[in-house]
């Protein structure tokens, strides 16, 4: 129907319908845009600190997973895989293959949509996760962090652990046949040996057989043996000397 006349007035029905459709569409789009704007405006993930992020798990976990994911993926919801540990996350990752990794696909909206209810992650974060998986999905990067070396202290527990157990017990134990009858495996066996009754002379390292044997100038007699074995370092000798000066106790 193109038109109709009534009461002397012309009414364009098709034009009115088009205008009404246009009005409804604008209203819907405006509402959708308003919701989207609010969603992105209130998106906490847009505030993630990505300045120092690195493409390995420890860095990604601190910068992205903990603030954006862990409130849901904390092991309490059986429907949400746990992301509490590296091992947990790797259950959703195929190393070197982001395209096969559910962890990455969910962020892309291919396998669900993550994170839920808070808006998407910044593109830089998603790209870093992609790079991490693509490069092998390591936990620490190229080299895992190692514990700092234990410092040598002038007391028996430290000296036994860092010097005697490593440099002396290859020969000087109760079972060893080439240790000259000297057993250094315990403090008691070291200080009560009938062949070396002056192993430790409290307060006097220069009279203590232990210190004397370690500081002999003749390499053929100086401990540790056999011949050619490197002598103790100056700082190791200093720790033993100070320990004996301070009484040479077991504690």
List the structure tokens of 32: 């959708």
Domain ranges in the chain are: 44-134, 156-245
Alpha carbons 59 and 56: distance in angstroms, whole number: 6
pLDDT of residue 250: 92
Name the DSSP class of 233.
P
In this model, does residue 34 exceed pLDDT 70?
Answer: no
Mean pLDDT over 44-58 rounds to 72
- Reported as a single tens digit per residue, the pLDDT across 163-221 is 998 888 888 886 656 667 788 889 998 888 767 678 899 999 999 999 999 999 988 88
Summary mean pLDDT of the chain: 78
Q: What percent of the chain has pLDDT over 90?
A: 27
In this model, does residue 232 exceed pLDDT 70?
Answer: yes
Output the CA angle 147-149-155, nearest 5 degrees: 130
Higher-scoring residue by pLDDT: 194, 3 = 194
- Reported as a single tens digit per residue, the pLDDT across 143-177 is 555 567 789 999 999 999 999 988 888 888 866 56
In this model, does residue 85 exceed pLDDT 50?
Answer: yes
- Reported as a single tens digit per residue, the pLDDT across 100-119 is 999 888 887 765 567 776 67
pLDDT of residue 176: 54
pLDDT of residue 94: 94
Question: CA neighbours within 13 Å on the CB side: how many for 70?
Answer: 12
In this model, does residue 3 exceed pLDDT 50?
Answer: no
pLDDT of residue 44: 52
Give burial (CB, 10 Å; 0-12/13-18/19+) of 139: middle
pLDDT of residue 26: 47
pTM, entire model: 0.43
pLDDT of residue 18: 57
In this model, does residue 97 exceed pLDDT 70?
Answer: yes
In this model, does residue 32 exceed pLDDT 70?
Answer: no
Higher-scoring residue by pLDDT: 149, 140 = 140
Name the DSSP class of 150.
P
In this model, does residue 46 exceed pLDDT 80?
Answer: no
pLDDT of residue 216: 92
Alpha carbons 39 and 22: distance in angstroms, whole number: 25
Name the DSSP class of 213.
H
In this model, does residue 233 exceed pLDDT 80?
Answer: yes
DSSP β-ladder status, 9-11 and 4-6: antiparallel
Write out the H or E segment, with its range, that includes residue 49: none
In this model, does residue 77 exceed pLDDT 80?
Answer: yes
């Amino acid at each position: 129907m193109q038109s109709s006349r009534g009461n002397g007035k012309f009414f364009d029905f098709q034009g009115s319908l088009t205008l009404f459709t246009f009005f409804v569409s604008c209203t819907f789009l405006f509402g959708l845009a308003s919701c989207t704007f609010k969603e992105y405006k209130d998106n906490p993930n847009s505030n993630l600190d990505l300045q120092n992020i690195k493409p390995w798990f420890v860095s990604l976990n601190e910068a992205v997973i903990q603030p954006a994911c862990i409130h849901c993926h904390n092991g309490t919801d059986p429907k949400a895989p746990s992301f509490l540990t590296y091992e947990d996350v790797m259950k959703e990752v195929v190393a070197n293959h982001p395209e096969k990794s559910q962890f990455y696909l969910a962020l892309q909206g291919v396998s669900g949509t993550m994170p839920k209810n808070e808006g998407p992650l910044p593109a830089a974060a998603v790209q870093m996760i992609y790079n991490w998986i693509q490069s092998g999905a390591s936990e620490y990067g190229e080299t895992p962090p190692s514990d700092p070396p234990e410092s040598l202290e002038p007391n028996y527990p430290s000296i036994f652990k860092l010097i005697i157990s490593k440099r002396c017990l290859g020969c000087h134990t109760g079972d060893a046949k080439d240790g000259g009858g000297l057993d250094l495996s315990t403090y008691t066996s070291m200080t009560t040996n009938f062949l070396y009754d002056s192993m430790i002379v409290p307060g006097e390292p220069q009279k203590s057989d232990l210190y004397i044997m370690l500081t002999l100038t003749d390499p053929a007699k100086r401990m540790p043996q056999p011949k050619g074995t490197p002598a103790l370092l100056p700082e190791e000798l200093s720790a033993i000397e100070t320990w004996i000066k301070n009484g040479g106790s077991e504690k």
